[in-house]
Amino acid sequence: MSEQSPKERRIILKHTDDPAYSNRISSYLGVGGYENLKKAFGMKPEEVAEEVLKSGVRGRGGAGFPAGMKWKFLDRKSGKPIYLICNADESEPGTFKDRQIMYKDPHQLIEGMMIAAYAIGAKQAFIYIRAEFHEGARILNRAIDEAKAGGYCGENILGSEYSCDLVVHRGAGAYICGEETGLIESLEGKRPNPRIKPPYFPAVLGLYQCPTIVNNVETLCNVRHIVEMGGEEFSKIGKPNNTGTRIWCVSGQVMKPGYYEFECGALTLGQMIFDVCGGLRPGRTLKAVIPGGSSAKVLRADERFSGSLKDGTAFDWGLEDIPLDFDGPMAAGSMSGSGGIIVMDDTVDIVEAMANINAFYAHESCGQCTPCREGSLWMRKITQRMCSGGAREEDADLLLSVANQIEGRTICAFGEAAAWPTQSFVTKFKDDFIKKATDSQEERNPKSLQLI
């Protein structure tokens, strides 16, 4: 559990850490639970979808695509059934926000999902949850039973003509099931090999080749609050194009790692690390930060970022000045991704950190595309060799060339997710990679932090 910071604005996590609040329906009903479902059912489905569009809410799963816009892309002319899927795979390294919602406030997700299902006219809804969340799946199933008994889910919701079953589906430990088309294949009972877009945009050809909406847990919870506030009011939280709050997950070498919910743009990366998270351990200095889950490009502590924002204003930031919203980390050449901020101090061996990340992607590639399957293995092998006494000066360039041959040449965005860390680490910390080769390469100091 994270200690709440006084400056937070908790909307999604409002009740999660209240010791008196349980994950049962009684607690949820006690704080106005399912009132917004009633409100939504008093509106036409397209009116609800319109509010979501007006809210400007962007997806919290990684890509930041506006949810209302995605819903508009649904192919309604086909006449096929429509499906809703909640992406609860939460597998991007550094991310642990959806866990808090599902374990501590599952009804908020169910209410958000039933509102979304009604708005898009879904025939059936699924929660695809990673298998490591054993208890999470049990909690959700119990909550769904409670919601069904109350008429908030399942047959004839709130006594209306509308029915929508909600099924919890468990994955089996593969990161690629977080990618939405891999997830759909997995939900169809197959290997989670992602599908190529076009033509397989889920909103057109998704589950069973039917129009399907895939949204993240946090995104779907926001839907409930959009109905409560109205899209217009919601859009005033945060900043234009960066509306609502975000739950940032801070991990690594800070004094108080944890999950913190703030209005978009309410604070900078520096304030997050040094104020909210209590800074670094005594005597340490900042070396690098990954701002949006391990797939996001790394930021170097002494780097400067300049250019102009979408609205034309010029910026010139150090790492600590980067605003925490969607556009800030993007302007700095990285991304806010899934909101996972990984902090590294000066005790970290950057090449080992790189080797750790590369081992992850090599383990998780689904293997369909040659550049991704082979490239991720090569990058792992090279960095691992560099960390076990066999580093060569030319390895930095070799790594970069392998990464460059993956990016843009694969079926799914995992290719980029695997290439971006290497491209950014090698370019920004080239000295560290060279030094690995030129330093005497005896046995590693057994006392130093081992990352691979």
Partner 1 sequence: MDNSLNLSEQTLSKIDEVVPKYPEKRSAALMVIHLVQDELGAVNDKACEWIAQRLELQPINIKELITFYPMLRDKPWGRKHVRVCRTLPCALRGSYATCKTFEKKLGVKEGQVREDGEYSLEFMECLADCGQGPVVIVDEQTYENIEGESAEKFAELLLDGKLEGGEEFKSYEESLNQGS
Ligand X SMILES: Cc1cc2nc3c(=O)[nH]c(=O)nc-3n(C[C@H](O)[C@H](O)[C@H](O)COP(=O)(O)O)c2cc1C
For ligand SF4, the binding residues (CB under 6 A) are: 176, 194, 365-369, 372-373, 410-412, 414-415
Q: Does 449 bind partner 1 (CB under 8 A)?
A: yes
Local structure of residue 369 (DSSP, 8 states): S
**Which of ligand X, partner 1, ligand SF4, none interacts with 369 (beta carbon under 5 to 8 A by kind)?**
ligand SF4
Q: Which of 41, 71, 96, 152 binds partner 1 (CB under 8 A)?
A: 96
Q: Which of 29, 63, 377, 434 binds ligand X (CB under 6 A)?
A: 63
Residue 149 vs residues 127, 154, 234, 254, 263: alpha-carbon distances, Å: 19, 9, 31, 44, 35
**Which of ligand X, ligand SF4, partner 1, none interacts with 73 (beta carbon under 5 to 8 A by kind)?**
none
Q: How many angstroms separate the CA atoms of 260 and 9, rounded?
A: 9
Beta strands in 55-206 (DSSP E): 83-88, 124-129, 165-170
Query: Cβ 377 to ligand SF4, closest distance in Å?
Result: 11
- 135 C-beta neighbours (distance < 10 Å), count: 9
**Binding to ligand X, residues 79-108 (CB under 6 A):** 87, 89-92
Query: Cβ 366 to ligand SF4, closest distance in Å?
Result: 3
Q: How many angstroms separate the CA atoms of 247 and 365, rounded?
A: 27
Q: Does 417 bind ligand X (CB under 6 A)?
A: yes
Q: Does 185 bind ligand X (CB under 6 A)?
A: no
Q: Which stretch binds partner 1 (CB under 8 A): 150-158, 239-247, 250-258, 264-272?
A: 250-258
| Residue pair 93/360 in contact by the 8 Å Cβ criterion | yes
Q: Which of 11, 299, 344, 406 binds partner 1 (CB under 8 A)?
A: 344
Q: Does 107 bind partner 1 (CB under 8 A)?
A: no
**Exposed, middle or buried by CB within 10 Å (0-12, 13-18, 19+), for 158?**
middle
Q: Which of 33, 61, 68, 211 binds ligand X (CB under 6 A)?
A: 61
By rule CB under 8 A, what count of residues binds partner 1?
71
Beginning with the edge strand found earlier in the chain, give each strand of the sheet holding 212-216 in spatial order.
165-170, 124-129, 83-88, 212-216
Give 320's contacts (C-beta < 8 A, 6+ positions apart). Answer: 268, 269, 270, 271, 273, 274
What residues does 239 pair with on adjacent strands?
A: 242
Tell me which residues touch ligand X (CB under 6 A). 59-63, 65, 67, 87, 89-92, 178-180, 214-216, 219, 412-414, 417
